[in-house]
Structure formats: C-alpha cells, structure tokens
C-alpha cells in the first residue's frame, strides 16, 4: 500500500496506548515497528513474546551443550 507521495505506508504499534498507528505519530520510546500492514503491527507484542521464548530456548540449549 502506498501513500499519495509514493512512499510506502508504515504501521507502528504503540506500547503505551496498545493501538496501531498509521505512520509514526508518537515518540519512538513507545513504538514497535515499522510494519508493512496494520494486521502485522497489531500482532507486535505476540510476535515479540514468541521470539523471546525462542531465544530463551536457544540459550538453554547452548548452556546445556557446554
């Protein structure tokens, strides 16, 4: 999806309001992104949790293999 200026539209997840923003509207300290779709931005916390769990498992496996 593109804006009238020809630039791609970016979506951000605001961790303070827990809302998706079309274009960066808030301070960087409250934003996750950018994402290419509203649906992807809406899943930002879920995706972050999933990645954290995967990294924690990788860390456990690495420590056990020492």
Give, in degrees to the nearest 5, the angle at Cα 50 between 35 and 40.
20
Residue 14 φ/ψ, nearest 5 degrees: -95, 115
pTM above 0.85, yes or no: no
What residues does each domain of the chain span? Answer: 11-64
Q: How far apart are CA 53 and CA 8, in angstroms?
A: 31
Mean per-residue pLDDT of the chain? 90
Note the pLDDT tens digit of each residue in 18-42. Answer: 999 999 999 999 999 999 999 999 9
């Amino acid at each position: 999806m593109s804006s009238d200026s020809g630039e791609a539209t970016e979506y951000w997840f605001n961790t303070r309001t827990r809302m998706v923003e079309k274009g960066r509207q808030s301070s960087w300290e409250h934003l996750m992104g950018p994402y290419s779709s509203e649906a992807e931005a809406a899943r930002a916390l879920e995706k972050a949790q999933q990645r954290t769990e995967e990294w924690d498992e990788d860390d456990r496996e690495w420590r056990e293999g020492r």
